[in-house]
Each structure stands twice: as structure tokens, then as C-alpha cells.
């Protein structure tokens, strides 16, 4: 069967007196029958070329599914007199959400998502939110996979939904204290959340009031509520700037007041307890610091440092308790959980006045007392791991719930007594079949990039896998938005490891693993560091006998798919195969089109190509623009027709251009899921089929065909 050949319909795109010819621009018409016909032809070609892999796909699917305990449940947590839990029963694709009143024996069903999803090819529920009186449940429903949710409200006394149906939202919402008003965000035509609305129960959504509108297209608006429940928080954020407004939750018809007006390059987040706000901010602190201020004096001139900036440690998050602060810190690429005793000093409570340089009096809020003698970190056993705080809805507790996993240790939930320092394992993700963590080895190594930068590598393999260069290896990375890719456990990955694969995450610049500078050195006019870090990590693995070029594979998705496109252009000779999942590959054209979702909010990530300096730089790496007549590795490209993050036409155009220009006979496949969007299939078993598809393709190309 011959590969599909997309028709050429040249379109000239001009910027800065520079013209590009895009022969496949026409593929961006989702409703055009000819576009659908082309995508279906590509799918038919994919099925024909991979028919021989169908048995392996099914084997992998059953294998991965067989490791999953189907009748499973989460560790319950307590909030406002109820115990909440998520459960799956045998055969369930979707969760069941339950709660139990603490003085009652049996739990009641909040939502059975399996029943709700029956009529849909795709179904997602999000933003579950209970009113303060425990009567109403608000939740969002997406049935298209465009991340556009309709909010429904369920009366938990009657078990019936109210007539209120609120369309075109992000799915999330917050209640006023009296449970009569719901606050939520709506999206514009580019799917940017830009308005915060107030809905009164029992009224028509079209009559909802706008309480905030974000007019700057580079900002996204959102709404939340403090853990203390005292404030509704309206936020607006872009890549390098944030702003918050406050509204008393017991005064839903009141006026918003600004916390600290937005300033370029000023980022902050807020958490409330008692009469104060803790502020996590980069104010004078590249790696962020923790500050505090009185709830009535929230402008930045009142902020006082509690945890100062450190050059070697990124302060990522803070969890507040009545008597403790729990800090999430990242040092040398790994997360550490730090416990500090936190209580206002009885001798120092209240406010005092400082005289500013101008002579005016400014109230100064007294710092909470921190008992640094109790300062300590949790200990974790693995060389590379992932640690994080979990659900901690109550202030008045000495117990911290946290999660832990590594590339050899399944996801585990612990309770930690912050006074006695004893920890209790509540649950570890069950892995059915013949699995033991002791059969696998995890390493942490550092490759060296061409500019001398040391890049962390998280490596896992089965103990009996040879390290003499004969093993196949899959190299994975993301490397954008300051998102740190932690060394996580994967049930599905075991199918590769058991077949002799080595799996490596390379923590390239563009993430934030090594601190804020790691992100800044992998974005804007330094974005190419992300790509060279990945290539140089591959070279390091080859030089250190982890694998050979004939057995080296690369994989990444979304912005990591951009990475795949860049490294395929830069060093096509390195890879036996490249898997690009929902790849962002038409960077220049997308970033010049402000009608496309995400574009305007990402100028500070990629650069604004309306400025010539950024146009030239992005053009120099944009995978679609850099395709040329040369040999490319085997490539599998995947996308979803309804993708709202990376539009399907980017990978479709890229594959069409590769088919036209590449000079090799290597495999080039495009698979478009016609029913889903960016995140793939919604059911927990359907999503495994996507993994099995990608793994089967990689395994079919691997010189080593060992069985698990």
C-alpha cells in the first residue's frame, strides 16, 4: 500500500519582508470533508503498515491491563465531617466518587462516571466542588475533548441535578459561603478563560453577572478559594506575571479588591490562614521566597520574608497547617519536603509601624514565629524519586499526607506525624502479576551538554539487562513551561523493561528541575538548549555503552513533540525511531495566529514572532519549517482531531511535508484519533490501547525481540 499523498495548495505567508510557502496550509479546516478524507487515508495506511503488529498490540494491552487491580480505591480523606473516596469496580473505565458521613456506616454515591459516560466516545468530569453546607455538588462535563466544560449542579439531598446548566467553562468553580452563588470562568473563541462569572442558584446562566473580565489577551483568568474558606480568589496569570483579587466568601455580592497589582516579571501565589497571607514570590528572588503579610495590607511593600531566597534551591510550594509549614523544595533536580513548626509568637502578635524613606507610616505585620530547631526534611530511599504533598484539606492537624514514587517504586500514599516524625504507609499502588521492585534498577546520572552544562538523567532497567551497549533504549523528555519531569513509576513501562529496554528521562533545560535558571535557559532565545541537551544526552548514553544507534529511540509529547521534531531535523542519524505524540511542530505559523488557542498567552515562552528577532530564531528550529530533503529516522506521529492544545493540522502538515521531501525508505506513520483531543482516550483501559500502539511500534523496530 502506497502512503497517502496530500495535495499541494500553495499559500504564501509573509512577515518581516520574508515569505514562506506553505503547501499544506489547507489542512487546517476541520470541517472540510477533503481534510477528513486525508486523515482517514493516513489512518488506513497506518493500520495496513502495522497490521503485523496487531497481535503484539493486543498482547501489550492485555499485559498492561493485567497488572492493574480493577476493583481499586483511593485512600479516603476527611473534610467538613465527611469522608471522601474514589473507587473503581471491575470493568469500570471511569471512577465512582463516594462520600460517607462520619457518623454513618455506609458511603453514598456522588457520581458514577461510568453511567454518565455511556453515550459518549469521550467523556471527562472535572472540578468537583461541594458547597459549604455539604448539600450541592458542582462539576464540569466535557463530551468532545476540547476542554470546554458544561457545569452541572447536583442536589445531594434529592440526588437530582438542578436545571442550571452553565456552558463554555473550564469546568472548575467555587461556592460562596452561603451556598447560593457559584463563581466560574468562561472561555473566548480562542479557548482562553477570560471572564469570571457569578451564578445564583435557580437562575438562568445567561443572566449571570460578570465580576471580572481580563482584557489582556496574554493573560488567563481563573477563580479559586482559599483553604481557610474566607476568600474567593480571582486570579489572572501569564507566563511571567500574576495578579489576584479578593472577595469575601460571605459577601458574594461585594466588590473585588486587588491583592497586588500586576507587574511584569513579578510572579506570586497566595495562601491564607488566620489573619494573614503567605506569599510565594519571585520578588527579589529568582528561585522564589516565602513572605507573609496581614490580610488587610496585601500590597508588596507590606510583604516580609519568612523563608529567604536560596541560589541552590527552588521553592515550589507551601502547605499551611495550624502549627506547621510544609515546604516543597527542589535541590539538584530532586524534590524535598521540609517541615517547619509555625505558630504566631504570643509576645510579638499584632502590628507595628515602620517609617518609610518618604516619612510616611506603614503598618508592619509581625512575622509568625518559626521554630527552626524543629526544621527537618523527610527522608526518601531512592536515588531518583518523586515526592509531593497530597490532599490536606484541614488546618488543625498534625498529620501530613504525602505521596512518593520512583521509577522502581509504585505510587505510595503516606501519613506523616509532624510531631513524632513517624510515617505510615496507607497504600501502595498494587501491581498484579510477577512484579517486585527488587527486580529493577534505577540510576541517576549526569550527561554533559556541548556548553558544559550537566544534565540529570533518570534511568531504569531490569536487573538482568546487559549494560554493554546491546540493550535497546527509549529516551524521553518534555522540557518546556518550567514543567519538571520527575522520575515517576509506570505500570505500562514494565512491558518495555521486561523486554530488555532501558528507559531514560533526560531532564533538559526548559523544565525547572535544577532551579529557575534551568527554565530561563531553555525558553525564548535560548530554546535551542532544550534540543541540544537531548541530543547530547543521547550521545552520552551511546558513549557510555547504554545502547547503540540501531537501538536508540526517542519519545515526547506536545511541547515534547516539538523537541522530537527538532532532534529529528538536527540529528536524524542518531535514532532508530522517533515517537512524536500530539507534537507542536508548526511553531512560526501558530505563534503568528492569535485566533489559535494558547497563542497569545505563550509569547513569553516561545517569543512573539511579530518581532523580527523572535521570528528569525523560531524559524531556525520550527520542525515544519526546517524539514528538508534528507534521510529521516523511522517516525510515528500521533494526534487527535479535537485537540485544543496542539491543533491536529500541525502534525498532519508535518507528515505531509516529510513524505514529500525525505529521501529514505524508513517508516513514516500518522495516526489521528478522530474522537479525542490532546489527552487521548478518556477511559482508563482505552488509554492503555494508545500506549500499546506506541510500544508495539517501537518494539517492532528493535533489534532485540526478547519476550517478557
Q: How much is the pLDDT for 352?
A: 43
Q: How much is the pLDDT for 102?
A: 96
CA-to-CA distance for 308 and 296, rounded, in angstroms?
Answer: 23
Nearest Cα residue to 681 out of 699, 694, 668, 697: 694
Q: How much is the pLDDT for 349?
A: 42
Distance of CA 603 to the CA centre of its chain: 19
Length of the chain: 708
CA-to-CA distance for 539 and 548, rounded, in angstroms?
Answer: 10
Same domain, 48 and 192: no
Nearest Cα residue to 350 out of 336, 368, 332, 333: 368
Does residue 536 sit within a domain?
yes
Nearest Cα residue to 617 out of 531, 526, 535: 526
Nearest Cα residue to 198 out of 209, 187, 206: 209
Does residue 250 sit within a domain?
yes
Task: Look up 643 and say whether it is catalytic.
Answer: yes
Q: How much is the pLDDT for 344?
A: 52
Same domain, 197 and 51: no
CA-to-CA distance for 367 and 198, rounded, in angstroms?
Answer: 35
- Residue pair 245/259 in contact (Cβ under 8 Å)? The answer is yes
The CA angle 625-627-628, to the nearest 5 degrees, is: 125
CA-to-CA distance for 549 and 640, rounded, in angstroms?
Answer: 30
Same domain, 50 and 134: no
The CA angle 582-587-591, to the nearest 5 degrees, is: 115
Does residue 551 sit within a domain?
yes
Does residue 170 sit within a domain?
yes
CA-to-CA distance for 412 and 419, rounded, in angstroms?
Answer: 21
Same domain, 450 and 485: yes
Any idea what the CATH number is for the domain that residue 190 is in? 2.130.10.120
Q: What residues contact 357, with CB distance under 8 A and at least 6 apart? A: none
Q: How much is the pLDDT for 707?
A: 59
Phi/psi of residue 669, nearest 5 degrees: -125, 140
CA-to-CA distance for 680 and 646, rounded, in angstroms?
Answer: 12
Q: How much is the pLDDT for 354?
A: 41
pTM of the model: 0.93
CA-to-CA distance for 206 and 356, rounded, in angstroms?
Answer: 49
CA-to-CA distance for 584 and 562, rounded, in angstroms?
Answer: 5
Would you tell me the crossing angle of helices 528-543 and 559-570 to the nearest 10 degrees?
60
Residue 704 burial (10 A CB sphere; 0-12, 13-18, 19+): middle
Q: How much is the pLDDT for 183?
A: 98
CA-to-CA distance for 12 and 9, rounded, in angstroms?
Answer: 10
Task: Look up 145 and say whether it is catalytic.
Answer: no
CA-to-CA distance for 669 and 656, rounded, in angstroms?
Answer: 10
CA-to-CA distance for 325 and 348, rounded, in angstroms?
Answer: 19
The total of structural domains in the chain comes to 3
For strands 369-377 and 334-343, give the pairing: antiparallel
Q: Which of residues 249, 266, 283 is at a domain's end? A: 266
Does residue 367 sit within a domain?
no
Q: Which residue has the cell 530561563?
A: 520
Same domain, 96 and 172: no
What region, left, alpha or beta, does residue 244 occupy, with left being phi > 0 and alpha being psi -120 to 50 degrees? beta
Nearest Cα residue to 240 out of 523, 608, 606, 604: 604
Q: In what order do the strands lie in the sheet with 423-428?
A: 385-389, 399-406, 412-417, 423-428
Active-site pick, 74, 406, 558, 622: 558
**What cell does 401 get?**
499526607
Q: Which of residues 234, 266, 298 is at a domain's end? A: 266
CA-to-CA distance for 117 and 222, rounded, in angstroms?
Answer: 27
Same domain, 489 and 514: yes
Burial code (b: 16+ CB inside 10 Å, e: under 16) for 272-282 equals bbeebbbbbbb
Q: Which of residues 223, 243, 266 is at a domain's end? A: 266
Question: Residue 209, CB half-sphere, CA atoms under 13 Å: how many?
Answer: 10
**Residue numbers of the chain with a pLDDT score lower than 50:** 345-362
Distance of CA 39 to the CA centre of its chain: 28
Same domain, 531 and 659: yes
Same domain, 111 and 188: no
Nearest Cα residue to 693 out of 677, 676, 666, 671: 671
CA-to-CA distance for 644 and 388, rounded, in angstroms?
Answer: 29
CA-to-CA distance for 543 and 553, rounded, in angstroms?
Answer: 16
For 390, the 3-state DSSP assignment is coil
Strand partners, 155: 136, 160
Same domain, 465 and 547: yes
What is 618-642 written as a DSSP string?
HHTT-HHHH--SS---EEEEEEETT
Beta-strand (E) ranges in 378-453? 385-389, 399-406, 412-417, 423-428, 440-448
For 156, the 3-state DSSP assignment is coil
Nearest Cα residue to 27 out of 633, 680, 624: 624
Task: Look up 517 and say whether it is catalytic.
Answer: no
CA-to-CA distance for 402 and 141, rounded, in angstroms?
Answer: 29
Active-site pick, 678, 682, 690, 702: 678
**What cell does 598 get?**
494558547
CA-to-CA distance for 264 and 262, rounded, in angstroms?
Answer: 7
Does residue 428 sit within a domain?
no
Query: Residue 421: how many CB atoms within 10 A of its CB?
Result: 12
Beta-strand (E) ranges in 418-541? 423-428, 440-448, 454-462, 473-476, 502-506
Same domain, 146 and 102: no
Active-site pick, 22, 164, 536, 643: 643
What is 572-606 written as a DSSP string?
GGG-SEEEEES----HHHHHT-TTSTTSGGGHHHH
Does residue 1 sit within a domain?
no
Q: What is the 3-state secondary structure (H, E, C) of 264-313?
A: CCCCEEEEEECCEEEEEECCCCCCCEEEEEECCCCCHHHCEEEECCECCE
Q: What is the 3-state secondary structure (H, E, C) of 128-154?
A: EEECCCCCEEEEEEECCCCCCEEEEEE
For 549, the 3-state DSSP assignment is helix
CA-to-CA distance for 597 and 514, rounded, in angstroms?
Answer: 30
- Residue pair 74/87 in contact (Cβ under 8 Å)? The answer is yes
Same domain, 57 and 142: no
Range of the domain at 105: 76-119
Any idea what the CATH number is for the domain that residue 440 is in? 3.40.50.1820
- Residue pair 491/405 in contact (Cβ under 8 Å)? The answer is no
Does residue 688 sit within a domain?
yes
- Residue pair 578/667 in contact (Cβ under 8 Å)? The answer is no
The rounded radius of gyration (Å) of the Cα atoms in the chain is: 26
CA-to-CA distance for 276 and 293, rounded, in angstroms?
Answer: 6
Same domain, 470 and 569: yes
Amino acid at each position: 500500500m502506497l502512503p497517502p499523498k496530500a495535495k499541494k495548495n500553495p499559500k504564501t505567508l509573509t512577515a518581516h519582508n520574508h515569505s514562506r510557502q506553505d503547501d499544506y496550509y489547507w489542512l487546517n479546516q476541520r470541517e472540510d470533508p477533503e481534510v477528513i478524507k486525508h486523515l482517514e487515508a493516513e489512518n488506513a495506511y497506518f493500520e495496513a503498515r502495522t497490521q503485523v503488529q496487531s497481535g503484539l498490540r493486543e498482547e501489550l494491552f492485555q499485559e498492561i491491563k493485567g497488572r492493574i487491580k480493577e476493583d481499586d480505591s483511593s485512600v479516603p480523606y476527611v473534610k467538613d465531617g465527611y469522608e471522601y473516596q474514589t473507587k473503581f469496580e471491575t470493568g469500570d473505565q471511569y471512577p465512582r466518587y463516594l462520600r460517607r458521613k462520619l457518623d454513618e456506616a455506609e458511603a453514598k454515591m456522588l457520581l458514577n462516571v461510568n453511567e454518565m459516560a455511556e453515550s459518549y466516545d469521550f467523556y471527562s468530569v472535572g472540578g468537583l466542588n461541594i458547597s459549604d453546607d455539604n448539600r450541592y455538588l458542582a462539576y464540569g462535563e466535557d463530551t468532545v475533548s476540547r476542554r470546554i466544560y458544561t457545569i452541572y449542579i447536583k442536589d445531594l439531598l434529592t440526588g437530582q441535578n438542578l436545571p442550571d446548566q452553565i456552558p463554555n467553562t473550564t469546568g472548575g468553580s467555587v461556592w460562596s459561603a452561603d451556598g447560593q452563588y457559584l463563581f466560574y470562568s468562561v472561555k473566548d473563541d480562542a479557548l482562553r478563560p477570560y471572564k469570571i462569572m457569578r451564578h445564583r442558584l435557580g437562575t438562568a446562566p445567561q443572566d449571570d453577572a460578570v465580576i471580572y473580565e481580563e482584557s489582556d489577551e496574554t493573560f488567563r483568568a481563573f477563580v479559586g478559594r482559599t483553604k481557610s474558606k474566607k476568600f474567593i480568589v480571582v486570579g489572572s496569570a501569564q507566563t511571567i506575571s500574576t495578579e489576584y483579587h479578593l472577595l469575601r466568601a460571605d459577601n458574594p455580592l461585594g466588590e473585588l479588591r486587588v491583592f497586588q497589582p500586576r507587574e511584569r516579571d513579578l510572579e506570586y501565589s497566595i495562601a491564607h490562614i488566620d489573619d494573614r497571607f503567605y506569599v510565594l514570590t519571585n520578588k527579589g528572588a529568582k528561585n522564589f521566597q516565602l513572605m507573609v503579610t496581614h490580610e488587610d495590607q496585601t500590597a508588596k511593600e507590606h510583604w516580609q520574608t519568612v523563608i529567604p531566597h536560596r541560589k541552590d534551591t527552588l521553592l515550589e510550594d507551601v502547605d499551611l497547617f495550624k502549627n506547621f509549614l510544609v515546604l516543597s523544595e527542589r535541590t539538584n533536580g530532586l524534590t524535598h519536603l521540609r517541615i517547619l513548626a509555625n505558630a504566631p509568637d504570643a509576645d510579638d502578635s499584632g502590628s507595628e509601624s515602620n517609617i518609610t524613606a518618604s516619612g510616611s507610616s506603614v503598618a508592619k505585620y509581625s512575622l509568625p514565629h518559626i521554630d527552626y530547631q524543629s526544621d527537618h526534611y523527610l527522608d526518601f530511599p531512592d536515588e531518583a524519586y518523586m515526592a509531593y504533598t497530597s490532599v490536606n484539606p484541614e488546618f488543625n492537624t498534625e498529620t501530613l499526607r504525602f505521596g512518593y514514587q520512583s521509577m522502581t517504586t509504585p505510587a505510595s500514599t503516606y501519613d506523616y506525624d509532624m510531631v513524632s516524625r513517624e510515617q505510615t504507609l496507607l497504600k501502595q499502588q498494587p501491581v498484579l502479576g510477577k512484579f517486585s521492585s527488587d527486580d529493577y534498577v534505577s540510576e541517576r546520572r549526569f550527561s554533559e551538554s556541548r556548553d558544559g552544562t550537566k544534565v540529570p538523567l533518570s534511568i531504569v532497567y531490569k536487573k538482568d539487562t546487559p549494560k554493554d551497549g546491546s540493550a535497546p533504549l527509549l529516551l524521553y523528555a518534555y522540557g518546556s513551561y518550567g514543567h519538571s519531569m520527575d522520575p515517576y513509576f509506570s505500570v505500562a513501562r514494565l512491558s518495555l523493561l521486561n523486554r530488555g529496554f532501558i528507559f531514560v528521562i533526560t531532564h533538559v533545560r526548559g523544565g525547572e528541575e535544577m532551579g529557575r535558571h534551568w527554565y530561563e535557559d531553555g525558553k525564548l532565545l535560548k530554546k535551542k538548549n532544550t534540543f541540544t541537551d537531548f541530543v547530547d544526552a543521547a550521545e552520552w548514553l551511546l558513549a557510555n555503552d547504554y545502547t547503540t544507534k540501531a537501538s536508540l529511540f526517542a519519545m515526547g509529547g506536545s511541547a515534547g513533540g516539538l523537541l522530537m521534531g527538532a532532534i529529528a531535523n538536527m540529528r536524524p542519524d542518531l535514532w532508530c525511531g522517533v515517537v512524536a505524540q500530539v507534537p507542536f511542530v508548526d511553531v512560526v505559523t501558530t505563534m503568528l495566529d492569535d485566533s489559535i488557542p494558547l497563542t497569545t498567552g505563550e509569547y513569553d515562552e516561545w517569543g512573539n514572532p511579530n518581532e523580527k528577532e523572535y521570528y528569525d530564531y523560531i524559524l531556525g528550529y520550527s520542525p515544519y519549517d526546517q524539514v528538508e530533503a534528507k534521510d529521516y529516522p523511522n517516525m510515528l506521529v500521533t494526534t487527535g482531531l479535537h485537540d485544543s492544545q496542539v491543533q491536529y493540522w500541525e502534525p498532519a502538515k508535518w507528515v505531509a511535508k516529510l513524505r514529500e521531501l525525505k529521501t529514505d525508505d524508513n517508516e513514516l506513520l500518522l495516526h489521528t484519533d478522530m474522537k479525542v483531543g490532546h489527552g487521548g482516550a478518556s477511559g482508563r483501559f482505552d488509554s492503555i490501547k494508545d500506549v500499546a500502539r506506541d510500544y508495539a511500534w517501537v518494539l517492532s523496530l528493535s533489534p532485540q525481540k526478547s519476550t517478557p
